[in-house]
Amino acid sequence: AAAAPALVPILVGGALVPGVAPTKPAGPEPAPQPIKPPEPKRPRLDPTTGLMSEADFTNELGANRTVSISVKCPNDDSNPAWTLLGQSLEVSLDCMSSVKELKASVKAQVGMPENKQQLKHAKLGFLKDALSLAHFNLKSGDVVELVVRARGRR
C-alpha cells in the first residue's frame, strides 16, 4: 500500500490548518535558464530638440572624441581682409569644445573676427557660442554654414 501524503500545516486566513504536502512533479528538473545581460540603455533624447545629452553623446563617440566639422563659407568680398570665397573649411576639434572655439579656428583660416561670424546648422539653426559641439550633437562630417553678422544695416 502507498504511504499517505504527510500533512503539513498551512496558513489560511491567519490560522494554521492541516494541509497536504506539495508533491514534486515526476521527471528530470528543467535546466536553469542562462541569465541574459541587460540590454545597454539607449540614450535619452530631448523631446523638444531630438538631441542627446552631452554626456550620452560623448559616451557614444567613445575614445575618439575628435570631430571634424565642415564650415561652408559665403562668397563675400565686402571686407578685403577676409578670404570668403565660397570655400569649405575642415575644422577638427574635441567634441566638448565650445562653438566659440570653432569660430576661433575659422578666424585663423579666413581672418574674420568671431564677433562677425554666425554659424548656422541646417536643422538646429544658429549655434550659441557658449555651448559645446556635443550639446548640438555635431559629429564628423556635419556641415555648418558661416554667415556674416550684419549689424545696424537698413
pTM: 0.68
Say how far apart CA 4 and CA 48 lie, in whole Å: 69
Say how far apart CA 1 and CA 124 lie, in whole Å: 84
| Cβ atoms 147, 74 nearer than 8 A | yes
For residue 43, is pLDDT > 70? no
Average pLDDT score over residue span 104-128? 93
Residues in the chain: 154
Residue in this structure with the C-alpha cell 581672418, named with its chain if needed? 111
Average pLDDT score over residue span 32-55? 75
Burial of residue 56, with CB atoms counted within 10 A of its CB: 0-12 exposed, 13-18 middle, 19 or more buried: middle
Closest CA to 144 of 74, 62, 63, 59: 74
Enter the DSSP assignment of 45: B
Say how far apart CA 21 and CA 2 lie, in whole Å: 15
What is the per-residue pLDDT for 50?
80
| 149: confidence class by pLDDT, cuts 50, 70, 90 | confident
As a three-state string, the secondary structure of 30-55 is CCCCCCCCCCCCCCCECCCCCCECHH
Give the whole-number percent of the chain exceeding pLDDT 90: 47
Q: Is the dihedral of CA 86, 90, 93, 96 positive or negative?
A: positive
